[in-house]
Structure formats: C-alpha cells, structure tokens
A and B are shown apart, each in its own frame.
Chain A
Amino acid sequence: MSKMCPMRLRYLCEPLHNILLLITCCHSRKISILAVVLLCTLSGAARAESGFAAFERSLATFDPGGQYLTKPIERYVSGLSLNGTLMFWSDYLLSDKDDIGFRDRDFRTAQMQSLFEIDVSYHFSPNFELNSIIHLLHDGAYDISSSDGLYADRVDDSFRRYNSFERIARELYLSYRTSTLDVVLGKQQIAWGKMDGQFIDAINSMDFRESVQIEPSDYELRRLPMWMANLTYYFGDVSLNVLWIPDFEPNLNPTYGAPWSSPLLPPADAEARNDQLLLNGRRNAAGDRVVQTQRPDWKNISDHQIAARLDIASGALTWGLVYYYAWERDAAPFVIGRFDDASGEHLLIEPSYERLHHFGITSDYAQVATGVPLIGSLPMVFRAEALYTKDAHFVDYQNLAVVRAGGSGNGVSKHDTLRAALAFEFAFPDKISVIFQPSFYYTFNWNDSLGVGFGGAIADEWNFAPVFFISRPVESTRDRLLLSLKLTPYLSGPNRNYQGTKTKLMASYEFSPFINGSFIYTDYSGGDSDDLFGQYHHYDNIGIELQYQF
C-alpha cells in the first residue's frame, strides 16, 4: 500500500496541476472556455493509455480516509458512525474590469473555499441517536490576493473562516423515533420544498454570500441551522410535522467587501472600507444613524417561531399544506427620528425583525405519456409549490423621501407576497433529463418606490423566471461524466421587462466512487446594469469543485 501511494499521487497531481495552471493563467474568456473543454475531455483521451487505466483502477479503491480513519474508529466504538468530506470549490472571474458600479472589483478569485466536514452519529439504541455535523471552513480568497475590494472579513469573520461554536457545530441533535413518531431536538436545518429555488423552503435563514451565484445544490451548506424541537407524527399515508423554534438566525448577506456584494450598493468601496461605523452597521450610506437592531429573544416565549406541515400521499398524487409563524430574516429599517450634524439633517434608523405569516402548498404528480412523436413513451413528473406571505416589510423610498423632507411615516410599508413555481420534469431516452420550471414572484399593492421584501418580486411588481435545465451522462464514460446546462432568464414587469439571464454549464466527473470533480462556467448576460442579473455582467466565472467523501 505504501508503495502505491506516491504513484497514485503522481497520477493525480500532474494532470490536475497542469489543468489548474492552464486555467489560472488564462486571461481571455475564449482560452478559459477552451481549458474547460479540454478538461472535460481529458479523462476520455487519457483513458486510451493503459497507464491511465491502471491509475483509474487504483484510484477506484483509493480511500485513505475510510481505510485509516473512519472504519477503524467505527470498528473500535460500537454504535458510532462516521463520515467525512473534504471539499474544495473556487470561482475565478473572467473579466478584469475593476470599477463596476460602487464596487472596486480588483480581484479575480471570487471564492476559494476549503471545507472539512465530519458527520458523527452515535446509536444509543435502534430508536435513540445523537447526531453532529462539524464544519471547518476557510476561504483563501481573502488571503491570496492583496485586493482592496475584498474586506468582508472585517465585517464578519465567518466570510473568511468558521471560528465560532455557532458555525463549527453546524448541527447537533438528539433523535428518538418510533414507527409513528419522530422527535428530533437540537440544532438542525429543515428543507421543505422540492423545486429549483426556494419557495416553501423557508424555515432556516440562509448564508447568501454567493448572492445570485447560489444554486439549490448549495443550500445544504448555506442554510443556517437553528435550535428547535422537530416532531412528526405519521398515520397511514398522512404525516404531520410540527416545529417549535426558540432560536433565531438572520440571513448573512453579501455585505461591503464581499465578492458578490452588489455593484448597486452605495457607497463606493473606497469610502466604505474605511468607514467602520458603516461596516458595523451603525451608519448607512446616506449618513443616517442606525441604532441597535431589535431582534427576537429566545427567553421570551412569545418570540418563538412555530411551523406545521401536513403531507398526504395518494397514489400518483402527493400534496401538502404548510404554515409558518416566522420572523423576517432581514431587518426592516424603521425611521424612529431625526438628528442634525455638521453634514446636515439625518434620520435615526432602528432595524427590526418583524413577524410574518407564511401559508404554503406543495404537490406533485407522476405520469407516463404514450404515443409521443419520435419518443414513444415519456415518463414525467409535475411539481407545484407556492408560498403566500402576509405582511412582508419593504423599504418604501417614496415615504422615506417624505420623512426625510420632514413628513410623517417610518419609511417602511407592508405588502403581501406570493412566490410560486410549476416544474415539469421529463425522462427522455438516453438518460436525458429535462426540467422546465416557470417561477413567479409577485408583490401585492406594489408601487415603484418599493425596495425588496421577503417573497416579492425584485425591482418590479412581478418577476417571471422560466428555468430550463437539461442533463445527460456520457455513456462512453460509463455515465461518470455528466453534462448539464441551466438557463435562468429573468423577466419582469411592468417597468423593467427583462433583467438578464444566468447561464450555467457544468461538467461533473466521477474520478472514483469517493472523489468527484466539477467544472462550471457561469455567464450573466442581458438586462441593464441596475437589473438583477444585469448588474453582474462582468462577473462571468469558471468554477472548480473537488470533493472527497470517506
């Protein structure tokens, strides 16, 4: 075994080293794309060589983490289960334009994150279990470049690394199960919803550091777990899930100095990075003073969150109902007064997390269509999800202007919102999978002075995003190479019409049953520079992801 290791490492390191060199040295988009294409075909070409075949054979059973760490410990400690994951993922921006809106984007590495995850389970009995997921994360993007535009770690160190119990002890819970009842107590994340995007998936707050770059496959790592009691009762084809959540976590947004901080967020980086009051959230870009945020207190039982979900399966149809008495994840900036200083009259702002009522519905249905031209039979699934939110808080810029001019109001208005999606998933021949998902966002009683609120449309009354996804494994690689394309055009009305399109091309390769790699090209095109995707025209990027699970 020890003799094999250097040989394996040489096989592994040389091609990867060359690939990384090629990509990081690319200065034009064309060459970068070529690098990805070369990379995707590398394995196929190299496999023609018997030496590479021998490498593949040895790599297929190469699992030092399992062999020397998890399995020996599991053998030694009866009842213990251990799984480990080493992940590396990075995004390299293709454009070197550095002044984009308010941002001083003098960096090319949007992220270079390394994550070590340990998933520990201890079975006290077949019904009683302790689970823990530990995360150690470090983002090298803040270390490798002497960029003026990357300084979010001065706002919150968790952008650069996880160094607090809250972040490292990601999940920690006890579970007790009987045939009809589940009781799970502790810190955990709950994933409701099955769509591309979050519709009824609203229980946990999110780490949105990647902003528009985030994908559903990231949610597992980006949800922010909370302490809660999670009870589910099962009776026949019906289940009732009830959550009691004393804990509260706000969203983590891409603030000043973060790679994906919006180019539309004032003030400019040159000013923001030296303004400690601004970075600490004590002052806003207009010079208004921001006082202590009002947030829920777990010691006050009336501040706790409660959710319930009912699911019913009936043959080809499954459906469910959702209710969530929650807090908003982003504080609404209420104006509570005004003051004068040398620069003039300013407002006194008190951010406050406000209560929300969420009402949701989910359903899916399976069918096989027959007699489809050219194809014959076509298996398909329809999914639907909708979340109606009552009294979401929006910044009302018209009212804010009135207040700033001496009028009355608090700069915030309440609106109901609806976010909903239908998904049509088809299984075509040759393992081609296609999903078409029209997604819809709507703000009730909208006016064009509103900012952004939970569940509502962005910068308009309604948004419509017809997401198209297609994937196909390559049979000649024994399905180890998976190619996929996702298009997310963002339509909008009545003002903006089109806010750009996000295009994602991905090639994933199974290097071994334990090691996976992905190469991702993400493009933002169309829309104006103040639109959702349009503002990120110069943020097209190539991503590299490597994952070893043992």
Chain B
Amino acid sequence: MRQLLVFDQNLSTHVVDWINCVLLLGLIVFTVDVNGEANPVKKEGWRAIDQLSRWERERIDFRIDTPRDSKTGYLPAEPFPFTAPYTAEEMGYRMMEFTHTARWSHVMADTFGAITKAGYLSQSTAVSMIGQELSTQEHIHAEPGAVHARHMYYYIYPPKNDGIQELWSLRRTGLESPVKLDYFAYTPSLRRVRRQPPPRRDTPFPGLAQSFDDIIGLESWEFDWRLIGADALYETVRFPNTRPKITLAKPNGGFYELDTDLIKPMGESYPFYRQDGGIDCFVVVATPNREWLPDYKVSKIIYWLDEHYFYPLRVETYDGNGDLKTIEVRLAKQENKALPEGHGYAGILAVYFHTQLDLISYSLHDAHMVKEWGEEDLIQFTPDFMRRRWLKYPQKSQAMVSSPEEFYMRPRLLKGKFSDERPVSVSLAIAARIAAQDKAGHLVFDVDE
C-alpha cells in the first residue's frame, strides 16, 4: 500500500503541508481500500531480468556489444527484421515499424483532442494521407537526408481549422543531417503555403500532450537500448463508464459500434493473449545518445513491447531532470492483413497523459484505408498541392468525445513496477484527481485538492 502514497518531496520541510499531505494520503488510502482499482494491477505480472521465463530468456540476446554493419558502423550487422534471440537494440529497431501512423501508404480520419484538468475539451479531425516511400528496412539503411515518408494532413474540424493543411516530408537523420522533416503549412485565412521551421522534436504540439517525436517515432540509432525485464499488461487505454459504446468508421464510409469494455489492447485477432487476458511485454529503456541528441530534453523513454511483434503498448517519457513527463498507452489492431507476422498492426487509439500539467490528449485513427498511391496521386504530396484545397479522400469519423465526462481516463501509473528505473510521482492535486476518477469510473473535474 505504501506504493500508492504520493507526495511531493518539496513540501516535506513545511509542517503545515505535511499535515495536509497526511490528510490527503489518508483519503487516498482510504479510497483505494474501500473501492480498489477497477482492474487491479497484478504484481506478479512484472519480472526483473532474473525472473524471466525460460521462453523469454531464449528470445533475448543479452549481449550489449554485437557485430556492427560494415557500411554504417552504428547499425547492427544482422539484417532487419532480425531473428531470435533479439538484443534490446534490435527490439528498438523492430519497434520502428510501429510508429503512431502505420508504416504503409494509407488514408484515414485522425480525430484527436485534449482535455485540461478543469475539463476544457478541444478536438480536431484531420484526414491523413500517408505516402510511405521506404520500408523500415530501407529507411534504416537509407542515406541520411533521404525522404522515407510523406504525410499530408487536411483539417476538417473544428470550423476554424477547416482547410488548414500540413505536409510533412520525413527524412532519415544522420549525424551531419539532423533535419528530420520538411514541414509546410497552408493556412486558409492567409491563403498561403509556407515552409515552417521543423518543430522541436521533444516539445509537445500546441495544446496537446504529445510531442512531434511521439507522432513520427524515433530513429533507433539515436538511442542506447537496454532491457530491464518483462511485464504483463491487462489494460492500456481506459474508457470511462460514461462511454459504453464507441462509433467507428469503415474505410468505405460506413459506421459501426463497439462495446468499449470488450475492446482488447491488440484487437480480436492477436493470437498471443495470456489465458488471463493480459499481454506479455518486454520492458526496454531507450536513453538518448548525446552524440546524436545533445540537447534533447528527454532523459529516457521506457517501452512496453509485446513479446512477439514488439508492438509498443505503453510508453513513458522522462524529462531532462529524470521526472516522469508523459505516459502514452495504445490500442492496436491488424489493419493491413496483407502483411505477415504482425507487421500489419497499427495503432487505432493512443492516449497521452502529461503527468506534470495533468493534460490528457488522444488520437484516434478511423476509417483506415490501405492505399497504394498511383503515379498521379503522388502530386498531392507536394507543397503546392495544398493551395488547391482539394480533399480527394473525405474520410469521416464520428469518434469524437461528446462531453468532458466521456473523455478517456488517465492511464494507470503502474507504481511499484521497476521502481529503480521508474521514479513515478505526481503532485498531490493530480493524485487526488486520479483517485477521484478511479472511484467514479470517469474523469472528475471538481475535486477538493
């Protein structure tokens, strides 16, 4: 139970604040004792390296120094997608397949939004056209500066954003080529396509909890990788009890409803659920290589990767001071059935929790349509195309949250797991709001802090 106690150490010298802490902690403990967590974390789900199962140990290559690629010295010598056993570094490279947007050409409606601690809700919808030019393997071995994907976003909601467009040309980084993308924006009120400075990779988008790197993914050679154990995840995205159903869109424009309590983290067809419904994950830590990322305001990122496909179901980002900054949890499903061995999995919903601002945001990928772009279609991935204000594929979504109380809940903190690596703490006020949401089963905004 001590693991549930949350307090800010900065307050420890103030007697009055201590009293407040004790009272609040008592409240939290009492709340948890009486109500418990809706789906309590099973402590036996997480294992340190020396507690891994035999199958897990056989799947892992514990070496740190492995042979290097003869041409590009910072890449592993073994060709992607590697074979078992896998080093932590190889898991990091495999994870590059599962960026926020699927790594194949497609169209979808991306509905996203954020809610503040006070319940201020803002949402947008953009039709996303993704032109994937290089496979993950080709991306890894491409020359620095090469474009590996082009993303075109056409905003259709809210009305003030209608017609805003963005074009991202994603580039493979190199030590001498730090530019990760070319970024153009079209603003209807200015009627101009303007090249924008690339966003700072570690800075959240305006009004959202997720950063640019959260969206386009990491390039694994910029990080050092290590394995810290394994865990079983039973829940990633948490739907509130005020939202029993969600309406999703088919690629052809039709809609269907799903019971939210029946949604599984990796979809129905994932073959490796545990008997108790959990998903076994390797837990790996990525630390920025300061030669590549000298001023990256992130000290480390911890990933929960499913042990079979290395799909990241939970991601924790720690700021430059080593404090927990954001938690990302995902729902995925097999969107591209033409790709074998789990390569066709893509995220359909990601929830981000900024643990310092108590800001929750989400991004839902709806009406996913796999699309091989013809020669004539490629014209729409050029900056000038945006001036035409032509939405060729008007994918729709009805998956927006209709009221603050129906917003996605804060992800679980999973306190106590890998505590040496995970200094998980939130402020007293946020702890109170988490306790209130867990008790109510949905976000609560008027909380006595």
| Cβ B160 vs Cβ A516 within 8 A | yes
Please name all residues of chain B whose beta carbon is closer than 8 Å to the beta carbon of A50 when the two chains form the complex: 446
A219 at the interface (CB under 8 A from B): yes
Q: Is B359 an interface residue (CB 8 A)?
A: yes
The answer to whether the Cβ of B195 comes within 8 Å of any Cβ in the partner chain is: yes
A381 touches B197 (CB 8 A): yes
Whole-angstrom distance between the alpha carbons of A237 and B184 in the complex? 14
User: Which residues of chain B (179-229) have a CB below 8 Å from chain A?
Assistant: 179, 182-183, 188-200, 203, 206-207
Give 1 or 0 for each of A232-256: 1 = CB within 8 Å of chain B CB: 1010110100000000000000000
Whether A549 contacts B160 by the Cβ 8 Å rule is yes
A57-B159 in contact (CB<8A): no
Q: Is the CB of A478 within 8 A of B190?
A: no
CA distance in complex: A525, B145 (Å):
47
User: B244 to chain A: which residues have CB within 8 Å?
Assistant: none
Interface residue total, chain B, C-beta cutoff 8 A = 56
Task: List which A27-81 residues lie within 8 A (CB) of chain B.
Answer: 47, 50, 53-54, 56-57, 60-61, 66, 70
Q: B384 contacts which of A70, A191, A313 (Cβ < 8 Å)?
A: A313
Q: A193-B192, A381-B197 are in contact. Are A315 and B178 (CB under 8 A)?
A: no
Count CB-based A-B contacts (< 8 Å).
160
Inter-chain contacts of A83 with B (CB < 8 A): 159, 162
Do B179 and A318 touch across chains, with their CB atoms under 8 A apart? no
* A366 in contact with B195 given A56-B119, A431-B206, A480-B207 (CB within 8 Å): yes
| Cα-based distance from A368 to B124 in the complex (angstroms) | 29
Q: How far is the CB of A267 from chain B (nearest CB, A)?
A: 39
Cβ-defined contact, A57 with B377, below 8 A: no
B159 x A377 contact (CB < 8 A): no
Tell me the bound Cα distance from A315 to B145 in angstroms.
Answer: 9
Tell me whether A549 and B158 are in contact (CB under 8 A). Answer: yes
- 478-495 of chain A: CB within 8 A of chain B: 478-480
Please tell me if the beta carbons of B118 and A47 are within 8 angstroms of each other in the complex.
yes
- The secondary-structure label for the interface of chain B is loop
Beta-carbon contact of B118 and A57 below 8 Å: yes
Distance (whole angstroms) from the CB of B182 to the closest CB of chain A: 6
A60-B404, A220-B190 known; A513-B122 Cβ under 8 A: yes
> B159: nearest residue on chain A (CB-CB)?
A549
Which one of A60, A85, A430, A550 lies within 8 Å of B120 (CB-CB)? A60
Query: Which residues of chain B come closer than 8 Å to A54, judged between CB atoms?
Result: 119, 445-446
List the B side residues contacting A11 at CB < 8 Å: none
B388 and A514: CB pair below 8 A? no
Which of A66-124 touch B at CB < 8 Å? Answer: 66, 70, 83-85
A177 is an interface residue with CB less than 8 A from chain B: yes
- Residues of chain A lying within 8 A (CB to CB) of residue B297: 429
Q: Taking the complex as formed, is A496 at the interface, i.e. its CB lies under 8 A from any CB of chain B?
A: no
Interface membership of B12, Cβ < 8 A = no
Are A220 and B160 in contact (CB-based, < 8 A)?
A: no
Tell me how far the C-beta of A421 lies from the nearest C-beta in chain B, rounded to whole angstroms: 14
Q: B178, B182, B200: which has the most chain A beta carbons within 10 Å? A: B200
Q: Which residue of A lies closest to B116 (CB)?
A: A478
| From B145, B159, B192, B203, contact of A194 by CB (8 A) | B192
**Given A53-B445, A427-B197, A234–B385 Cβ distance below 8 Å?**
yes
A425 on the B face (CB < 8 A): yes
Taking a contact as CB atoms under 8 Å apart, the answer to whether B382 and A237 are in contact is yes
Does the CB pair B403–A61 fall under 8 Å?
A: yes
B440 within 8 A of A: no
A480 to B385, CA, bound (A): 30
With CB as the reference atom, state the residue of chain A lying closest to B169: A315
Q: For the complex, give the distance between the alpha carbons of A301 and B360 in Å.
A: 60
Residues of A within 8 A of B88 (CB): none
Say whether B71 faces chain A, with CB atoms less than 8 Å apart: no
Residue of B122, B162, B203, B445 contacting most chain A CB atoms (<10 Å): B122
Of the candidates A315, A366, A376, the one whose C-beta lies within 8 Å of that of B197 is A366
Contacts of B183 in A (CB 8 A): 366
Given A239-B384, A516-B160, A376 and B390 contact (CB-CB distance below 8 Å): no
User: Which of chain A's residues has its CB closest to B354's CB?
Assistant: A478
Contact of A179 with B by CB under 8 A: yes
Q: Flag whether A284 is at the interface (Cβ < 8 A).
A: no
Cβ of A146 under 8 Å from chain B: no
A472 to B354, CA, bound (A): 20
Is B404 a contact of A57 with CB atoms below 8 Å? yes
Whether B119 pairs with A189 at a CB distance below 8 angstroms is no
Given A66-B159, A191-B191, A379-B200, 20 other A-B residues pairs in contact with their CB atoms under 8 A: A83-B162, A189-B191, A191-B192, A219-B190, A220-B189, A318-B195, A366-B197, A368-B178, A368-B179, A377-B294, A381-B197, A429-B200, A429-B297, A433-B197, A473-B206, A479-B206, A512-B122, A513-B158, A516-B160, A547-B160
12 A-B pairs in the complex with CB atoms less than 8 angstroms apart: A54-B445, A56-B119, A66-B159, A70-B159, A126-B392, A232-B387, A234-B384, A236-B382, A239-B382, A427-B197, A513-B122, A549-B158
Chain B residues within 8 Å of A, Cβ to Cβ: 114, 116, 118-124, 145, 158-160, 162, 178-179, 182-183, 188-200, 203, 206-207, 294-295, 297, 357, 359, 376-377, 379-380, 382-385, 387-388, 390, 392, 402-404, 445-446
Task: Please name the 4 residue pairs, one residue from A and one from B, whose CB atoms are nearest each other, closest first.
Answer: A376-B295, A191-B191, A179-B376, A379-B197
List A residues at the B interface (Cβ < 8 Å).
47, 50, 53-54, 56-57, 60-61, 66, 70, 83-85, 126, 177, 179-180, 182, 189-191, 193-194, 216-217, 219-220, 232, 234, 236-237, 239, 311, 313, 315-316, 318, 364-368, 370-371, 375-377, 379-381, 383, 425-427, 429-431, 433, 473, 475, 478-480, 510, 512-514, 516, 547, 549-550
